[in-house]
Amino acid sequence: MTDLRVSLAGLELDNPVIPASGCFGYGKEFAAYYDINLLGSFSFKGTTLEKRFGNPTPRIAETPDGMLNSVGLQNPGVRHVIDVELPEMRAYFRKPVIANVSGFSIDEYVETCRLLDGQEQVGLIEVNISCPNVHGGGMAFGTDPASAAAVTRAVKAVAKKPVYIKLSPNVTDIAAIAKACEAAGADGISLINTLLGMRVDLRTRRPVLANRMGGLSGPAVLPVALRMVYQVWEAVKLPIMGMGGVTTARDVIEMMLCGATAVQVGAANLVNPYACREIIEQLPVEMEKLGIGSLSEIIGGAHA
């Protein structure tokens, strides 16, 4: 008998599989394909204080083994999420959800987190200080330890629920950023966000994306994500939500061996709407092949 259960800073999950923010919306579209209550949880669409249209199009480009996106945090704003999306969500998802929050100032982060912290359905807040697709926010806070700590400290002052800080891979020393967040009171770390990249249209000789650059996700980034999860596990004593290029149950196990307590699945959902369901169904099969009885027992197992 295999045990898939894990615990994220007191949030108990039936399994570690979590669709990543930006790749699952509010779950509504996927609930039409399968019962999404089989998920551990899901991180809903990145939310800012005010609604955002996002970046101009084109803002998606394919790459070998991945994709570039420059959506730019398009969302209806936190008040719409509270008044409309969360009430509708009760009809198709019964478990606590993860609220992904972004901002353009510390005050915006604080107010958005304060509002979402008061929502019964929100079990955990994921603070995105790592989005590479917006100007003047997101990654601007996530590339400097002092700035990352300042956001963490300010959000923790208003949030009663666990706060995970989502870090950028576009830094020289990911461990230093994670340590700063830990010292400022973070309850956990999420990593990685997308890697900054671009493509050029050979006919026009101009960048494919209107924003010129965007975030690279998909299977190509898995080795980078594994490396950074491994480094952060050794640097801090906080639970980690790992993500980046995960497409199979074996990827989930590998990510957990590197140090992740839970594993988010992003771009795979855009290729196959059943991706998370298939991973969850396959996990017990792979666990039996590998002689794993409980997933919680393998966390960090790749470390000496």
Strands 206-207 and 200-201, bridge-based pairing: antiparallel
Q: Which of 203, 246, 247, 233 is nearest to 298 (CA)?
A: 233
Q: In a 3-state reduction of DSSP, which class is residue 65?
A: coil
User: Which run of H or E residues covers position 232?
Assistant: helix 222-235
Mention every residue, 6+ apart, whose C-beta is less than 8 A from residue 268.
Answer: 23, 218, 246, 247, 275, 276
CB 283, CB 298: distance < 8 Å: no
- CA–CA distance, 168 with 131 (Å, rounded to integer): 7
User: How many other C-beta atoms can be found within 10 angstroms of the C-beta atom of residue 172?
Assistant: 7
What does the buried/exposed string (b/e) look like for 136-151 if buried means 16 or more CB atoms within 10 Å of the residue's CB? ebbbbbbbebebbbbb
The catalytic residue among 131, 181, 258, 276 is 131
Active-site residue, 131 included: yes
What's phi and psi for 43, nearest 5 deg? -95, 115
CB 154, CB 109: distance < 8 Å: yes
Mention every residue, 6+ apart, whose C-beta is less than 8 A from residue 35.
Answer: none
Mention every residue, 6+ apart, whose C-beta is less than 8 A from residue 139.
Answer: 129, 130, 131, 132, 168, 170, 193
Q: Catalytic site residues?
A: 131
